[in-house]
C-alpha cells in the first residue's frame, strides 16, 4: 500500500492560521478537483445500464486503490455493482462511513447534448452535482489527511452505490450493515440552500393502485360496462385529501395508465403514487388510509401495493451532534454553516433510521440536479473538501 510522506506543519502557528493553511492546500488543488470531477462526469453511469455503471465502478476502484484504499465489489444482478473501499487508520476506532452513489438519472448518450464544461465559475454536466462532485471531495479529503498525518487519523470506509436513484434496492442491506459498524455517517449528496448541510429529510414511499372494472362496447352496450378509468378518477380525488402540507405529508398521483381504445369502456387502470412524510410515526397512519380505499362502483375492485421505502431522516440528537462538529470546523475559517430540512430522500435516511449519527448534504454546492442546467459552483470546492476532512478528524 502506498504510504504518503507526512507534510511538515508549522507547529507554532495559531489554530486559525493552521486552518487557513489547510484551506490554501485545497485552493491550490481546485483545478485538479475540477478535472477529476470532469473525468467522472464523462463516464456516463445511468442507473438502468449495468455495463455503463460497472465501467464507472471499475474506474473508481482503481482511483481509490491508487491512494491506498482496499476496494471490494458488492455484486448486483440487475444494477451496477456497488463499491466498498476501506482505508486503515492510525487507531482501531470504528470507521467513519462516507456514503454516496455514482448512478445518475440521465440516459446513456446525454453527454452529446449536455457536455461537461466550465463557464462563469460553474462546472456543468449530467450528474456533476448529484453526485459525482461529492465522490471527488471524498478523494481529495482522504489525500489531504494522508498528507497531513502520514496515515489517516482513523479508519474510513467509503460505500458508493449504483442504484440510489432508483430506490437502492440492491445496496440497502450493505449500507445498513456498514453503518452499524461505523462511528458516524457522512453523506456526500449535494449541499442544501446556501451551501447548508442537511439535518432532516422526508421519508419516501411509492404505492401502486390498480383498478379492475368491466369492459363493454362504449357505443353498443355502455350500460354493461363499469369503467376502471372513472373509478380511478374518483380514487385520485380521495388521494388528494390525504395531503397535509402543514404536517409534511404529501401524496402525489404521478403516473396514470389505463384503457385500450376510445370505444371500449376500460377494464383496467392504474396510478403510481409518490408519498412523503416528515416523521416516521406518520408512516403507519398513511399506509392504513391507502390500504383502506374502497371502490365507489361495487363492480370495480381495487388493489394497492407498495409502501414506504425510506423512513425520514429526523433531526435527532446524533444528527445534531454531527452538525455541531461541522459548524465548529466551518467556524475555523470564518464560515457560518447553516442546516436545512429537505423533501427528497437519500441513503442517509437508511443510516439515520438505524440510530447511527448521520449528516447529509456534505457534497458539492450548485443547482439543477436531474435537470439540463445541473451545475456546481467551482469556488466552493476547497472549503467543502476542508469541511469533509475536518469532520473525519473530529468524529
Q: Which residues pair with 166 in a beta bridge?
A: none
Q: What is the mean pLDDT of the chain?
A: 96
Please tell me what DSSP assigns to residue 380. Answer: G
Say if 251 falls within a structural domain. yes
Using alpha carbons, select from 235, 233, 274 the residue that is nearest to residue 253: 274
Note the pLDDT tens digit of each residue in 355-385.
999 999 999 999 999 999 999 999 999 999 9
- Identify the band that residue 281 occupies on the pLDDT scale cut at 50, 70 and 90: very high
Taking the C-alpha atoms of residue 296 and residue 269, their distance in angstroms, rounded to an integer, is: 15
Indicate if 29 and 55 belong to the same structural domain. yes
Asked if the model's pLDDT at residue 217 lies above 90, the reply is: yes
pLDDT at 2 over 50: no
Query: What pLDDT is recorded for position 7?
Result: 57
Same domain, yes or no, for 306 and 316?
no
Residue 179 lies in a domain: yes
The boundaries of the domain holding residue 302 are: 203-310
User: Are 111 and 249 part of one and the same domain?
Assistant: no
Looking at 248, 283, 310, the residue that finishes a domain is 310
Instruction: Kindly state whether residues 174 and 63 are assigned to the same domain.
Output: yes
Q: Given this model, what pLDDT does residue 13 score? A: 75
Total length of the chain: 395
Angle between helices 133-149 and 15-27 (to 10 degrees): 130
Q: Which residues contact 174 (CB under 8 A, 6 or more apart)?
A: 74, 82, 84, 159, 161
Segment 232-259 mean pLDDT: 98
121 pLDDT tier (thresholds 50, 70, 90) = very high
Report the candidate in 140, 127, 119 with the shortest Cα–Cα distance to residue 52. Answer: 127
What's the whole-number mean pLDDT along residues 284-301? 98
Residue that finishes a domain, picked among 290, 310, 330: 310
Q: How confident is the model at residue 14 (pLDDT cuts 50, 70, 90)?
A: confident
The pLDDT, as a whole number, for residue 333 is 95
At residue 4 the predicted structure's pLDDT band, cuts being 50, 70 and 90, is low
What pLDDT score was predicted for residue 15?
84
Q: Strand 70-74 vs strand 122-124: parallel, antiparallel, or unpaired?
A: unpaired
- Is the pLDDT at 128 greater than 50? The verdict is yes
109: left (phi over 0), alpha (psi -120 to 50) or beta: left
Are 177 and 227 in the same domain?
no
149 and 87 in a common domain: yes
Q: Is residue 196 domain-shared with residue 268, that is, in the same domain?
A: no
1 in a domain, yes or no? no
Tally of structural domains, the chain: 2
> What percent of the chain lies above the pLDDT cut of 70?
97
pLDDT given at position 8: 55
* Confidence at residue 12, expressed as pLDDT on a 0 to 100 scale: 60
Q: Do 239 and 338 have their domain in common?
A: no
Q: Give me the CATH number covering residue 288.
A: 3.30.70.360
> Residue 87 domain-assigned?
yes
Same-domain check for residues 51 and 187: yes
Task: Give the mean pLDDT of 279-299.
Answer: 97
Do 26 and 103 share a structural domain? yes
Which of 267, 291, 310 is the C-terminal boundary of a domain? Answer: 310
Per-residue pLDDT at 3: 45
How many Cβ atoms sit within 10 Å of the Cβ of residue 234?
Answer: 15
The answer on pLDDT for 73 being more than 60 is yes
Amino acid at each position: 500500500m502506498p504510504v504518503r510522506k507526512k507534510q511538515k506543519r508549522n507547529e507554532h502557528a495559531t489554530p486559525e492560521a493552521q486552518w487557513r493553511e489547510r484551506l490554501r492546500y485545497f485552493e491550490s488543488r481546485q483545478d485538479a478537483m475540477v478535472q477529476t470531477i470532469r473525468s467522472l462526469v464523462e463516464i456516463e453511469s445511468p442507473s438502468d445500464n449495468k455495463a455503463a455503471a460497472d465501467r464507472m465502478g471499475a474506474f473508481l476502484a482503481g482511483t481509490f486503490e491508487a491512494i491506498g484504499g482496499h476496494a471490494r465489489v458488492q455484486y448486483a444482478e440487475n444494477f451496477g455493482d456497488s463499491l466498498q473501499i476501506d482505508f486503515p487508520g492510525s487507531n482501531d476506532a470504528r470507521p467513519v462511513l462516507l456514503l454516496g452513489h455514482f448512478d445518475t438519472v440521465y440516459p446513456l448518450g446525454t453527454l452529446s447534448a449536455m457536455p461537461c464544461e466550465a463557464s462563469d465559475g460553474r462546472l456543468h454536466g449530467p450528474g456533476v452535482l448529484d453526485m459525482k462532485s461529492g465522490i471527488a471531495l471524498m478523494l481529495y479529503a482522504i489525500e489531504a489527511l494522508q498528507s497531513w498525518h502520514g496515515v489517516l487519523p482513523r479508519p474510513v470506509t467509503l460505500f458508493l452505490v449504483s442504484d440510489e436513484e432508483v430506490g437502492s434496492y440492491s445496496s440497502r442491506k450493505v449500507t445498513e450493515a456498514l453503518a452499524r459498524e461505523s462511528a458516524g455517517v457522512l453523506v456526500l449528496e449535494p449541499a442544501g440552500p446556501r451551501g447548508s448541510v442537511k439535518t432532516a429529510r422526508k421519508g419516501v414511499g411509492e404505492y401502486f393502485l390498480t383498478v379492475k372494472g368491466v369492459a363493454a362496447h362504449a357505443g353498443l352496450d355502455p350500460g354493461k360496462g363499469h369503467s376502471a378509468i372513472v373509478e380511478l378518477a374518483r380514487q385520485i380525488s380521495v388521494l388528494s385529501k390525504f395531503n397535509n402540507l402543514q404536517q409534511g405529508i404529501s401524496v402525489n398521483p404521478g403516473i396514470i395508465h389505463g384503457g385500450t381504445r376510445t370505444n371500449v369502456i376500460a377494464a383496467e387502470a392504474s396510478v403510481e403514487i409518490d408519498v412523503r412524510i416528515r416523521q416516521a410515526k406518520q408512516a403507519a397512519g398513511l399506509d392504513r388510509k391507502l390500504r383502506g380505499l374502497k371502490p365507489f362502483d361495487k363492480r370495480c375492485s381495487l388493489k394497492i401495493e407498495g409502501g414506504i421505502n425510506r423512513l425520514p431522516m429526523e433531526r435527532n440528537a446524533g444528527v445534531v451532534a454531527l452538525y455541531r462538529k461541522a459548524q465548529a470546523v466551518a467556524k475555523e475559517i470564518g464560515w457560518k454553516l447553516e442546516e436545512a430540512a429537505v423533501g427528497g430522500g437519500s441513503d442517509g435516511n437508511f443510516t439515520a433510521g438505524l440510530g447511527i449519527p448521520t449528516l447529509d448534504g456534505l457534497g458539492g454546492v450548485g443547482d439543477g440536479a436531474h435537470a439540463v442546467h445541473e451545475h456546481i459552483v467551482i469556488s466552493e470546492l476547497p472549503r467543502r473538501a476542508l469541511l469533509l476532512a475536518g469532520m473525519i478528524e473530529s468524529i
